[in-house]
Amino acid sequence: MSDKANILSKFDELEDIVRENTILIKKNRALVSINHDNLHNAYRESYDVTRELLLLQLERARKFIVSSQGKIKIFDYLKKRIEINKKTAKVTEKIISSNELMMEALEESKQVNEDLVLFLEKSLKEQRKYKPRKTELNFSDEQINILFNLQKENIVNIFRNNSRINQNRKVIQDKIVEVDIISKKVQDLVANFHQMLYKDEN
């Protein structure tokens, strides 16, 4: 096999590998989005819906105690509300940090897209200047080998990311179950609020 044929063969092999790896990256992107959506939904359930229901029940309990016993017994409820506000503020700080991290990822993704747009615009403009013709190879075997090495780094990162994605998916699924358990308890508490208040009277 001639040097030119050998280079072309290696180039074709590299193209096939890049196509396969691009598909794997696309899969990782989809899985990351699914993980993000599932985690965000669980967070909304815990942080917004369940928390709001619990705070409403805390207010209902406070009103009941004030109406039946004045403000003598209300201290513990006020203390708990202050504690919850403090803990909620810390959770909010974490969400703000995650938003900032997502903004960094969004900016980097935008830059990748801009880079690809510029490349396509430049290459398409250059193509219009040339008529189809046979040309000599404008890359060497050494340059192909450099691309192979870069692609090896890519595949390592692809599988490392995939492993982390799958680990996160399992953790997120467990967290969703935990959130659902608490949510069910809160719904039961709401449904049986007055029954719980008077259950010892009979």
Q: What is the pLDDT of residues 33-45, one digit of tens each?
A: 999 999 999 999 9
Number of alpha helices (DSSP H) and beta strands (DSSP E) in the chain: 5, 0
Number of other residues whose CB lies within 10 A of the CB of residue 144: 19
Nearest to 6 by CA among 139, 141, 135, 152: 141
Structure tokens at 31: 């899985």
Rounded Cα distance, 151 and 21, in Å: 9
**For position 126, what pLDDT does the model report?**
80
Torsional class of 188: left (φ above 0), alpha (ψ -120 to 50), beta (otherwise):
alpha
Please state the rounded mean pLDDT for residues 119-134. 78
Please state the rounded mean pLDDT for residues 64-74. 69
What is the four-CA torsion angle of 89, 90, 96, 99, rounded to 10 degrees?
A: -130
Find tokens 């967070």 and name the residue.
43
Q: Which residue has the higher pLDDT, 29 or 125?
A: 29
Asked whether the predicted pLDDT for residue 71 surpasses 80, the reply is: no
Q: What is the DSSP string of 117-139?
A: HHHHHHHHHHHHH--------SS
Per-position b or e across 8-37, b if 16+ CB within 10 A of its CB: eeebeebeebeeebeeebeebeebbeebee
Domain ranges in the chain are 3-130+141-198
Looking at every residue in the chain, the average pLDDT score rounds to: 87
Asked whether the predicted pLDDT for residue 83 surpasses 60, the reply is: yes
Kindly report the pTM of this predicted structure: 0.76
Counting every residue written for the chain, the total comes to 202
**For position 13, what pLDDT does the model report?**
92
Could you tell me if 22 and 155 are in contact, meaning their C-beta atoms sit under 8 angstroms apart? no
**For position 64, what pLDDT does the model report?**
78
Please state the rounded mean pLDDT for residues 87-107. 93
Write out pLDDT tens, residues 145-200. 999 999 999 999 999 999 999 999 999 999 999 999 999 999 998 888 877 776 65
Q: Angle at CA 32, nearest 5°, toward 150 and 51?
A: 150
